[in-house]
Chain A
Amino acid sequence: MPTLPLIAHRRPDAVVAWRGKTPVTARQFLGDVKHLAGTLPPGRHVLNLCGDRYRFTVNLAACVVSGRVSLLPSTYTPEMVRQMRRIAPDVFCVADKDIDGVDLPGFRYPETMPPALSDPDIPEIDDAQVVAQVFTSGSTGVPLPHPKRWGNLVRNVRAEAERLGIGASHAILGTVPPQHMYGLESTVLMPLQSGAALHAAHPFYPADICAALAGLPRPRLLVTTPYHLRTILADQHTLPATDLILSATAPLSQPLAREAESRFGAPLYEIYGCTETGQLASRRPAAGAEWHALPGICLRSEGQSVWADGGHIETPTRLSDVIELIGDGKASSTFLLHGRHADLINIAGKRTSLAYLNHQLNAIPGVRDGVFLPPREDDPDCIGRLAALVVAPGLTAAALTQALRERIDPVFLPRPLLFVDALPRNATGKLPSHITQGLLDDLQSLGTSQAQEPA
C-alpha cells in the first residue's frame, strides 16, 4: 500500500513551527505527536478545538498516526455537537483551554510535553487512510460528511505549495482558524508538506497580525481573507514587509488587491476550491480575472455543467458554481468564475446553505413559516449579513434569536429579522427570490425597525 510521510522536513532540527520567537524543531514536534498519540482516550473520532495552531497541528498529527478521524463541522453550536454525537458516538474533544457549551467528553491538551531526546523516524501514513471528515450543511438539517484521505490532502497542498513557490525556507502566519478547510490546508498541511514553518498564533486585531508577521523570519507568507485584509489596510499605517499574501473565502476586489500588493510589497494570490474537491485553482487578481487550475487539474464542460478532474481529485466532480472555461475546447485549465452556487452562503469564511438555515428556522417551535435572504453584494470587500422574514405570532424577536443561536453559527443570525403576517408563496409553495427581496425592501423603506416585535 502506498504511503506518504507525515512531514516533509528533512532534518531533525528543521523548524516546524514558531511559538512567538521560539522555534519548534521537527525533533520536538515528532516527540510531541508520539507522546500525545499515546495519551489520547480510546475514541476514534475527535473534535480538535485547540486554539493554538501548533497544538492543533500536534493533535491532528497524533490522530493521523493513531488512526483516528478528525471531525470538522462548520460550526460548534449545541445542535451541531448533537449531530456529531449521533454520527460518531465515540467522539471526544481535545482543547487547550476551558470550552463552554460543547457537550462532549473532553481531553485537555497537556500543558507540558516531555523533551524530545532521540531523533524519531518520520511516520509514513497510508495514502488511502481517512484522516478527516469535513461536514457541509445538508438541506434537511443533517450535516453531510465528506471523507478526506491522507493522499488526497497531501497531493492537494503539495500542488498548492508548488503553485505558490512555498518551500523549506518559508514561514507562514494565518488569520483564519485551522478548523476550517482553508486554514487546515494553507496554514497547517501546506507547511507540514512543504517543509515550511507555521506560526502557532491566531492573531485577531490588525496590530497583533502585523506584530506576529514582523516577528517571523523571511520569506514569510500571510494567509488571510478579504475581510481581514480590509481591516489591516484601514487600521495600520505601516505594514511589515511580506513576501506573499494568500486570500480565500470570498472574492477580493481588484482595488483592494492592488492596495494590498503595493503596501505589503508582495504579490497577492487567491485560492478557489470547494469542500468536495479541495483546492482547485489560483489567480493573482491584480494581474487578471482568470483562474489557473492547480498542477494536474483539468476542468471539462458537459452540457450545462463543469466537472473537475485530475491532480489530487479522487473522482471527477461536478462543480456547482457558475464557471466559464477559457479557450476553444471542452476542457481547459483556465477559467472565469461568475458566481458561487446560489444556495451557498459564505460569511467571513463560515459556510452554510440557505436550505440548511431555512430548515433550522422552521424547526423552531412557534415559527409557522420563515425564510432567510442572502446578503446583497453591494461592496465585495464588506461583510454582508443575512435577513430573515418570519411568521411567528407568539414569539418575540429575542426568543427567536436565542433559539436560532442554539442552531446556527452567530455570523448567520439575521440582521434584520422582520416579522410578517404571511410569506408571499406562489401556487407551488415556492418563494421567488425577487418577491421576497421586494418585500424586504418595502418593509425596510417603511421604517420597520430591526428585530421588530410582532404586533
Chain B
Amino acid sequence: MSPAVSDVVVTEQYVMPEEHYINSDTSLKSWLLTVDHKRIAILYMLTITFFFFIGGFMASLVRLELLTPAGDLLESDTYNRAFSMHGVMMIFFFLVPSVPATLGNFLVPLMVGARDLAFPRINLLSWYIFLVGASFAVSAMVLGGVDTGWTFYTPFSTTFSNSNVILTAVGILIAGFASIFTGLNFIVTVHRMRAPGMSWFRLPLFIWSQYAASLIMVLGTPVIAITLALVALERGFHIGIFDPKLGGDPILFQHMFWFYSHPAVYIMILPGMGVISEVIPAFAHKRIFGYKAVAYSSIAIAVFGFLVWAHHMFIAGISIYAALVFSLVSFIVAIPSAIKVFNWSATLYKGSIRWNTPMLYAFGFIGLFTIGGLTGLFLASLGLDVHLTETYFIVAHFHYVMVGGMVLAYLCGIHFWWPKMTGRMYPELPAKLSALLVFVGFNLTFMPQFILGYLGMPRRYHAYPPEWQVFNVLSSAGASILAIGFLMPMIYLVWSLKYGKIAGPNPWQATGLEWETSSPPPTHNFLEQPIVTSEPYNYGPKEGEV
C-alpha cells in the first residue's frame, strides 16, 4: 500500500558550511558557558533524553509487574515508587520541557528572524536551574524514591508517606523556574525580536503555539511552586494546611495542584501541536488551511485551559453546581483542539504529499490525539466520569494525549528539524520503521487500558483480579514494542551525525526563515538580517491567482 515515494529528498550534493554553531568552538567550556540558544537547545535535549529513559525504565518495571495479577515481582512499596518516579520524571523532567526547551529554544529565534532569544544568559541559567532541580529529584530517587504518585495528594504526601517527598517536591519547584525563564524568554522574544516584516499573522504557527504555552508557563508554574512549598512546610514543620488533623483541608491541595497541573497538560501538548502545524504544510507542500483559526485556537486553549482544573475532582466532594461549571468549560476547551485537527486534515486536501518520517509521525499524532481528545469528553461528562475516574481509563486517555500526542510530536519535530540542527539527514528507512513500531506498540499498550478502565481496574494497583490479566498482558506486550520503537532513533540518529547525508539548507523545500539559513546555522543564525515580505506557508500562488 505504501506509495512509492523516493526516500531520497536531498538530490544535490551539498557540503557542510565551513563555520556553524557546532564547530565554532569545540571546547567543553564553550558548551557549558554558551549563551547560544541553539547550543542550549542541544544541552536540554541531551538532559531530557536521559530523563525520558529513566522514566521509561520505571514504566517497564510497572508493565512487567502487571503481567501477572499477583504482586509478585516487586514489593508493594517498590511498585508504588516505580509508578511515582515514572510520573515525576516523565512529566516534570521530560514532557514539560520537551518541545519548548529543545525545539522551541532552537527554533524560536530562527523562526522570527532573530540572532538569539531576548535574554540569552537567562536562557543558560534556565538550563542550570533545570539541572539543579533535576539533581534534587535524582537524589530523591537514589535515596529510595518517592511513593506519592506524581500528584502528591495530601494528607498522604504530607503526613503518611515514608519516602523522599520534600526532596522531590523541592526538585520540581526548582525546575519550575527553568520553565518560567523559558516562557518569559519566548514571550519577550516574540514581542520584541521579530525581523522586519514579520507581523503577528506572518508568524509560523509553531511560534503561536509556543507563545500560548509560554503564557501558561509564566502564569501557572508559580502556583505549583507555592503548592509544593506548602507540602514541604506541612511535612517538615507540621504547619496545618492540608491535613485535617492539623486543621487543614486536603481538597484545597487538589484545587491548587490542578490549577497548575491541568494547564500544564496544555504546556505539554500545545508545542506539539505547533510542530504538527509546521510539518503538515511542509510535506503537503501547501499553505495551512485556516491559519488564523489554528493560531487563535492555541490562544483559546491557553485561556480556557486555566478554567477546567476541578474536572479532576468531580467525586471529591466539590459542590455539584461547581462541577456543572467545570464540566461545561471542559467541553468547551475541547473545541479549539477539534478545530486544529480539522484544519490539519483539510490542509492535506489537494496537497502534494510526501510520506517521509516526520509526516508519518504527524499522521500518527493526528489519529492518536483525536482518540485522546475524544476520550477526554468521556471524562468531562459528569455522570460518566464517576465510573471512569481513578481507573485505567484515565491512564489510557492521558497517555493517548501525552505519548500518542506529545511524544509523537516531539519525535516528529526532532526528525523534521534534525537536518537543520545537525546538518545531516537521518536515515529514512529505519526512521520509518521506528515510527511504525511506535504507532503499533503504542496502540497495543494503551487501547486495552481503556477496556480495563471501563471494567473498573483502578490505577496505581500493584495487584489486580485475575479476570483482567489478558488485557494487561496485551498492554505489556505493546509496551515492549513501544520500547524498541523509542530506542531505535537513539541509534540511527547518533549514526547519522557522522554518516548521514549532508542536508543542505532546506532539504524539505519548506517555507520559514529557519530554512533560509545554512544547516547547521551559523552562531548568529543569519549572515544578513532577514526581511519578511510574504505570508507564512507560501508554498505557491494561491488558488485563483496565477
A binds B: no
